[in-house]
Amino acid sequence: MNLVQHGAVYNMLSLGIASMTFTSLFLWYGRERVLPKFRMAVMVSATVTSIAAYHYFRMFDSFNEAYPVGGTVDGGFAGYNVGYRYVDWFLTVPLLLVELVAVMGLARAVQSSLLKRLVPAAAAMIVLGYPGDMHTQLFGLSNSMWGLLSTIPFLYIMYVLFIEIGKSLASQSPKVQGLLKGARLLLIATWGVYPITFILAMNDVGAPSFEAVVNREIGYSIADILAKCVFGLIIFTIARIKSAEENKEFAANEFRD
């Protein structure tokens, strides 16, 4: 790996560490600035970015050891632990859906119904995508086949987000509706980066090229920052607005001139 390639990934992973760490601190301290009924959504957001911060530290160290400047493709592939990213996603992707549902303040039965479908689908999407990204040809299936299998729960999640959750938007205020629609689109747009990055490298057999590694790590990191940090801040903003809408005393204290 040359200096430019190494530096690009090094700086992107460093940006990931900073973004996840300081978004976590902001959300943990900010959770008291919303009503108790919406506090769980903010705490889940903070948990997501905290988990991601830990794994970005691990990926940063693993990358620097596996892909030194001048290192070989095979050595890098053998030394870099892609599993850190997938363990992170296995934990955080379902939680992203939990925070979206939690901040809407829906009836308990409706929340339970949505989460019972969304959380297992999100976990399945990550588990099925991992063998393809590892280029292992597990069970004799190609990288593209694992990608296809991972797409099935992804499409189901999109259906629930647009159709099922879309039905509940009418009960929200216009301002909250706009933010929820934006948060939903942000998830879909950022999650769309993952299959694109996956496709760019899925035809590689054995160790992916340096270019594929750089594209993968930069693409995944940008998508992570948007899907976790920016999404979490949107959830916090929604929680603040809904708190003000439901409690005039809170609004007077928090939004006074």
Please name the helix (run of DSSP H) or strand (run of DSSP E) that holds residue 182, with its range, or none: helix 174-201
The 10s digit of each residue's pLDDT in 91-119 is 999 999 999 888 888 778 888 888 999 99
Q: How far is CA 247 from CA 34, 35, 49, 255, in A?
A: 10, 8, 28, 12
Q: Which residue has better confidence, 46 or 254?
A: 46
The 10s digit of each residue's pLDDT in 123-151 is 998 888 877 766 666 666 776 787 788 88
Geometric angle at alpha carbon 145, from 141 and 148, rounded to 5°: 155
How much helix, strand and coil, in percent to the nearest 5, is found in the chain? Answer: 85, 0, 15
Listed in sequence order, the residues at least 6 apart from 103 whose beta carbon sits closer than 8 Å to its beta carbon are 38, 41, 235, 238, 239, 242
Q: Give CA–CA dist 239/254, Å, rounded.
A: 13
Q: What's the CATH architecture for 3-254? A: Up-down Bundle (1.20)
Q: For the chain, what is the mean pLDDT?
A: 87
Q: Give the pLDDT score at 231.
A: 94
pTM: 0.88
* Domain limits, the chain: 3-254
